[in-house]
Amino acid sequence: MKAFLSSLSRSKRYVVAELFLVYFAQGLSSIMLGSVLPDLRAAYALDYQIGGTLLSAQSIGYLGIGLLSGLAAIKWGLKRAYLILYYVFAVGFVMLLTNGSPVWLLAAMFLTGISKGAITDYNNRVMSEYANGSATPLNMMHAAYAFGACVAPLAVLACHKLGGDNGWRLALEISIVLLTASFIFGLFMKMDDDKSTKTEQNSATDYGFFREKLFWLCTALCFFYEAVEASMMGWLTSSVTSDVVPSSFGVLAADAAQIITSLLWVSLLIGRFSCSVIAAKFRPWQMITVMCFGVAAFLVLLVTGTTLPILAVATIGLGLCMSGMYGTTVANAGDLFSRYPASMGIYVTLNGFGAAMAPAAIGIAANRAGIRWGFATLLIAGVLLVVSAVLNARYFKGRQHSKAVSRA
């Protein structure tokens, strides 16, 4: 990382600092939403179904901006588009604090989703250009997001201690200050115009990947993975706050829930660093198979667990198994995405539907049968994730067999 930074000009190092700061702020702010959801629901007298719909509204915003962020960079310039769409997140938080109308709250969550989607696009695009083929800067940038996510539940816990019933408001206010500070820091950076997007608009589009089995296997894997991840981020705190964790451990249920959520992100952070080492020894499909079975197993443990130690083990296991899924699935596709330039955008959009649909489904089920049964519906995604992994493994084993036969 030191060599990478030394190869950059001073202005580009400033941009890199902004990318890291923005990802840290968004990681912290994004996970705060899930952590304060029980308090927000109580403050505005919302049911579980509305709570799940709020999470899905964020995912819909994330999906929608993916097709428009490139056009925004062309029309406004990359720096202006970056800062405007980034600060929309803070606007969404202000809206959450000012009105409890479901429509208003849905609009606020939609804005946070727009901001998340745009920054995911811009941060990865700019850092990829600066990194010039090296994965280390990108991994470190994503680690900044995970670090912010680790801090979020602990920050919410501290805010509850200081602010009592209004602790959730204090948490969002602190997040708004951090988002504003990173926005001001970004005003002084020099970011180049988005030339790559202009080139992409004029490139030919080939949709031949729709006929490739591997594309659909990777899409299925990531669809069900994102369903699990989005649901964990949005509903984990609520699922272990509803009298699942007994107070006999000397920790209040709400406090334990924040600790559990923080454990998830600590394990994700550790797992993301570890996967780069493991990937050198195993093939992507082998790693995916192990991770998917692990996700399903730890989901069962999380859903059935009733004590803090069991929930902690399940959460850590899930975090480790989920940490490398997205990147490894992209690697699993081989050169498919490079052969079909249009495939990545459609791949991301299709997968995003998993993240949008699952939290809403849990909310509907929780509203009718309680949060534990609602959260248990996530096991369906876990089973389908395993099925997808098995089919993916059979696909690659079949290719190996075909190559062996042809050589013979």
pLDDT, tens digit (0-9, with 9 covering 90-100), for 347-365: 777 887 888 889 889 989 9
Say whether 101 sits in a helix, a strand or coil: coil
DSSP 228: H
Of residues 271, 240, 226, the one with CA closest to residue 384: 226
The pLDDT confidence band at residue 367, using thresholds 50, 70 and 90, is: confident
DSSP string, 194-210: -HHHHHHHHS----GGG
Which of 177, 158, 363 is closest to 258 using CA atoms?
A: 158
| Residue 109: Cβ-neighbour burial (10 angstroms; 0-12, 13-18, 19+) | buried
Of 65, 61, 70, whose CA–CA distance to 30 is shortest?
A: 61
Per-residue pLDDT, 253: 60
Contact present, 295 and 322 (Cβ < 8 Å): yes
Q: CA torsion sign, 291 to 296 to 299 to 300?
A: negative
Q: Which two tokens stand for residue 106?
A: 């849905």
In this prediction, residue 359 carries a pLDDT of 87
242 band by pLDDT with thresholds 50, 70 and 90: low
CA atoms within 13 A on the CB side of 367: 15
pLDDT at 198 over 60: no
d(CA 62, CA 234): 15
Query: What pLDDT, in 10s, does the model give residues 308-340?
Result: 888 889 999 999 999 888 778 877 887 776 677
Residue 190's SS3 state is: coil
> Residue 77 carries which side chain, given as an amino acid letter?
G
CA–CA dist 42, 221 (Å, integer): 35
Reply yes or no on whether the pLDDT at 403 is more than 90: no
pLDDT above 50 (res 185)? yes
What's the gap between Cα 240 and its chain centre?
Answer: 20
Domains of the chain: 8-203 (1.20.1250.20), 206-408 (1.20.1250.20)
Angle at 239 between CA 148 and CA 118, to 5 degrees: 40
Mind listing the pLDDT tens digit for each residue in 14-33? 999 999 999 999 999 988 88
Q: What is the reported pLDDT for 7?
A: 87
Tokens matching residue 194: 């988005």
Distances in Å between the alpha carbon of 363 and those of 32, 138, 379?
A: 18, 34, 15
Q: What is the pLDDT of residue 292?
A: 97
- Chain segment 141-165, per-residue pLDDT in tens: 877 888 898 888 889 889 989 988 8
Query: What does the pLDDT look like over 72-91, one tens digit per residue?
Result: 887 888 899 999 999 999 99
The answer to whether residues 183 and 87 touch, using CB atoms and an 8 Å cutoff, is yes
Q: How far apart are CA 350 and CA 255, in angstroms?
A: 36
**pLDDT score, position 109:** 94
- Kindly report whether the global pTM for this prediction surpasses the value 0.85: no
Contacts of residue 292, Cβ cutoff 8 Å, sequence gap at least 6: 221, 321, 325, 385, 386, 388, 389
Please report the pLDDT score of residue 261 as a whole number: 75
Confidence band for 139, pLDDT divided at 50, 70 and 90: low
User: For the chain, give me the number of helices (H) and strands (E)?
Assistant: 18, 0
